[in-house]
Structure 1
Amino acid sequence: MENVSAVTSFILTAYTELEDHRYLYFICFLILYILTLLVNLVLIVVTCTEKGLHEPMYLFICNLSVNEVCGSTVLLPSMLSHLLSHNYEISLSFCLLEIYCLMSYALVEFTILAVMSYDRYVAICRPLHYHLLMSPRKVTAAIVLSWVVPSLFFALYFILTLQPSFCDRYIERIYCMNFELVKLSCFDTTIIRFVGPVLIIVCPSPQIVMILFSYAQILRICLSASKESQAKALQTCTPHLLSVINFSVGCLFEVIQSRFNMSHVPQKARIFLSLYILIIPPLFNPLIYGISIQAIKVQIFKLLSSKKRSETNAW
C-alpha cells in the first residue's frame, strides 16, 4: 500500500492495453479529434454569423456544439499526449480538473438536450405562443441556466465526495473519474457509495421528466394531426431524438462501467465504451443537425461556396 501522504499523482493503467498499436491509435484518435473540431466549429460559425439562424432551436444547437468541443478538448489532447510519451501518470490536480470538466460536460449536454425537447414541444404543440414562451430573454436565461446549474450542482457533489488522502494510485481507466478516486480513498466510503447512485438518479431526473413530457405531448398532438403535420413533426424531432438516444447510450456505458464489475469484458472493449460519450456524440451530432435541418444545410453550403469563390478570385 502506498504511503498516504505520497499519493499526489495516479497511473492510468488502461493505456498499457494500447501499447502494441499506440501509433495507430494515436493517428485514429487525432483524426477523430480534428473531425470533431471541424464539424462543430463549422456549425458554430454558421449559426453565429447568419442572422437567419438566430432562432431558439439553432442557438441551442450552437451551445450543444460549444459544449461538445469543450468535452472533447478536455480528454483527447491529453490522451494523445499519453499515447506518444509512454507516460501514463497524471497529477492529482489535473485528475481532479479532468473529473470536474468531463462530468460538467455530461450534465450540461443532457440539460441542453432537455431544453431543446421543450423547444420542440412549444413549436409543435403551442405554435401560436411560441414567440411568447421562447422569447429572447427566456432563451438566454435557459442557455445560461443550462451551463451554470449543472456545473454548480456537480461542484457541490464533488466537494462532498472528494477525499484528500488516497491509499493507492492505480486507476484502471483511460481518464480520471470521481468514483475511481472514491474507491482509492483511505477513508470509509460507505456513505459516499450510497450517495453516488442516488445522485446519479436524482441529478438527471428533471431533464428526463422534461424530455418525456415534451415527447408525450408531441406524440399526443401527432396522433390526431394530419399525415402532413405528422411528417413535419417527425422531420423536426428526429435529429434531436437521435442526439438524445446517442448521448443516453454513452451515459449508460459509463454508469455500467463505474458501478458494476466489468472484469469479464475485455479491457480494450471497456476502453472504447468509455470513450463513446466523448467521441461519438460530439462527432455525429453536428452531422445529424447539418444534414437533417434544411436551414443549417443551406447556410453551410453558402459558407463553403463563398470561401471557394474567394479562393478562386485570389488565384
Structure 2
Amino acid sequence: MENSTEVVSFVLSAYGNIGNLKYLYFSIILLWYISVCVSNTILIVVIYKDRGLHEPMYLLLGHLFLNEISTSTSLYPLLLSQMFSDTHEVTLPWCFLQMCCFYIFGCVQLCNLTAMAYDRYICICYPLHYNVLMSNERVVKIILLVWIYSFTNYMFSFSFILPLTFCGNVINKVFCDQQLVIKLACSVSALTSISDLFFASMSLILPFSLISVSYMKIFWICLIVSKESKQKVLTTCTPQIVSLGNIFVYATFQFVGSRMDIHYLPDEVRVILSIYIHILQPMITPFMYGLYLPKIRQSSKRLLFDKKINMLDI
C-alpha cells in the first residue's frame, strides 16, 4: 500500500511542454472564450428585449444560453492561467470547485434539455392544453427545480469524495476530472463508487430516458401529420437533437476514458476529446438555436441591424 501524504495541490500533466506555442494557444483560447460569451449573451439579450419571445420555449433557451456561459467560465479562465504556468498546479479547493461546477452545470444542461423536450412534447401532442400545462410561471418553477435537483444530486456524490486522502497528485488532463481524482485516492470505499454511479445514472441516464420518450412520441405524431406540420416540428426539434447527440458522444467517451486504459491514443487526441464538449457545445448552442429557429433569427436581425440603420439615419 502506498504511503498517504497530505496532498495540497494537483498537477495537470496533460499540458506538457508547449514552449513558445503557449502565446498562440492563449490567443486562440481567449478569442474563443470571448466569442462564446458574446454569442450567448447576445441571444439572452434578444430574448429579454423581444416580448414576443417571452414564451416557455424561449425562456428555457435563455436559461440554456446562460448555462453555456457558466460552463465555459468553469474551464476557460483556469485553462488560460495554466498556459503561462511552469508547474500546472491547482490547489485542492480550486480543483474541487471546478469539479463541482463542471458536473452541476452539466447536469443542469441535460435537465434543461429534458424540460425543453417536454415543452415540445406538450406543444406538439397537446396543443390545445399547451397554455395551461406550460406557462411562464411554471417554467420559472421548472428552472428552479432543475438547479435544486442538479445541486443536491451532485452534492450527494461529492460528499463521499471530500473526505478522501490521496496518495498521488498527477491528473493526466488539462482540468480536474472527478474520476481521475478518485483514482488518486489511497483507498476508495464501495459507497464512493456507488454514489458516483448513482450521480451518473441520475444526471445522464434519467434525463436521456425522459428525452427519448418525449421524442419518440413527437416522431410518432410526425408520421400522421401533414408535410407542412412535419417540417415545423423538425425545425424546432433539430437543434435539441444535435445538442443531445454531441453530449451523448462526449459522455460516452468520458465514461469509457475515465474507467478504462486509453493510453494508446496520442496525448493531443486525448486532450482534445476530453475538452471538446466545452469548446464546441457553447458555440453549437447559439449557432443552432440562433440561426436555425426563425423567430430568434428575425429578432436578432431587428435588434442588431435595425438599430444600426436608425443610428445612421440620425
Same fold (TM over 0.5): yes
SS of 1:185's partner is: coil
- TM-aligned CA distance change 1:117 to 1:13, over 3 Å: same
SS at match of 1:278: helix
What is the total number of aligned residue pairs between the two structures?
Answer: 314
Q: 1:66 deviation in Å?
A: 0.5
Instruction: Answer yes or no: is 1:275 the counterpart of 2:248.
Output: no
Contact 1:2 1:169 (8 Å CA) reproduced: no
Alignment of 1:118-129 (within 5 A): 118-129=118-129
* Distance (whole Å) between structure 2 residues aligned to residue 283 and residue 30 of structure 1: 14
Q: How much does 1:313 deviate? A: 6.0
- In the other structure, the counterpart of 1:67 is 67
Contact 2:153 2:199 in 1 (8 A): no
Would the alpha carbon gap of residues 191 and 295 (structure 1) be closer, same or farther in structure 2, given more than 3 Å must change?
same
Q: Which amino acid aligns with 1:223?
A: L
1:311, distance to aligned residue in structure 2 (A)? 5.1
Deviation string 1:226-269 (CA, Å, 9 cap, x unpaired) is 11211111112111111111222222222222111110111111
> Identity percentage over the alignment?
36
Q: Which amino acid aligns with 1:279?
A: I
* 1:281, distance to aligned residue in structure 2 (A): 0.8
CA distance in 1, matches of 2:155, 2:192: 15
Query: SS at the partner of 1:148?
Result: helix
Per-residue CA deviation, residues 39-70 of structure 1 (Å, 9 max, x unaligned), is 10001111112111110111111100101100
Q: Could you tell me how far apart the structure 1 residues matched to 2:277 and 2:151 are?
A: 18
SS at match of 1:85: coil
Match of 1:137 in 2: 137
- Give the AA of the match of 1:119: D
Q: 1:17 to 1:216 in 2, by over 3 A?
A: farther
Aligned residue number for residue 155 of structure 2: 155
Query: Which letter does structure 2 place at the counterpart of 1:117?
Result: A
| Aligned equivalents of 1:300, 1:152: Cα separation in 2 | 36
Residue aligning to 2:214: 214
What secondary structure sits across from 2:84 in the alignment?
helix
Deviation string for 1:118-166 (max 9, x for gaps)? 1111111110000011022211111111122111110111012333421
Higher helix share: 1
Q: Is the alpha carbon distance of 1:61 and 1:258 closer, same or farther for their aligned partners in structure 2, counting shifts above 3 Å? A: same
Q: CA RMSD in A?
A: 2.0
Distance of aligned partners of 1:18 and 1:274 in 2 relative to their CA distance in 1, 3 Å threshold: farther
> Which TM-score applies when normalising by structure 1?
0.93
Q: Which residue of 2 aligns with 1:115?
A: 115
Name the residue aligned to 2:228: 228
Larger mean CA deviation between 267-276 and 299-308 belongs to 299-308
Equivalent residues in 2 for 1:29-108, closer than 5 Å: 29-108=29-108
Tell me, yes or no, if the aligned pair for 1:10 and 1:90 is still in contact at 8 Å: yes
CA offsets, 1:91-138, max 9 Å, x none? Answer: 001000000001111100111011100111111111000001102221
Contact 1:71 1:105 in 2 (8 A): yes
Which shows bigger deviation, 66-75 or 275-284? 275-284
Unaligned runs of 5+ in 1: none
State the shift of 1:312 in Å. Answer: 3.5
Cα distance 1:253–1:168, how it changes in 2: closer, same or farther (>3 A)?
A: same
**Alpha-carbon distance between aligned partners in 2 of 1:149 and 1:17, rounded to the nearest angstrom:** 41
Aligned equivalent of 1:16: 16
Q: 1:26, 1:260 → 2: CA distance?
A: 31
Give secondary structure in 2 for the equivalent of 1:11.
Answer: strand
CA distance in 1, matches of 2:149, 2:198: 18
Structure 2 length normalisation: TM-score?
0.94
Q: Which consecutive residues of structure 2, in runs of 5 or more, have no partner in the other structure? A: none
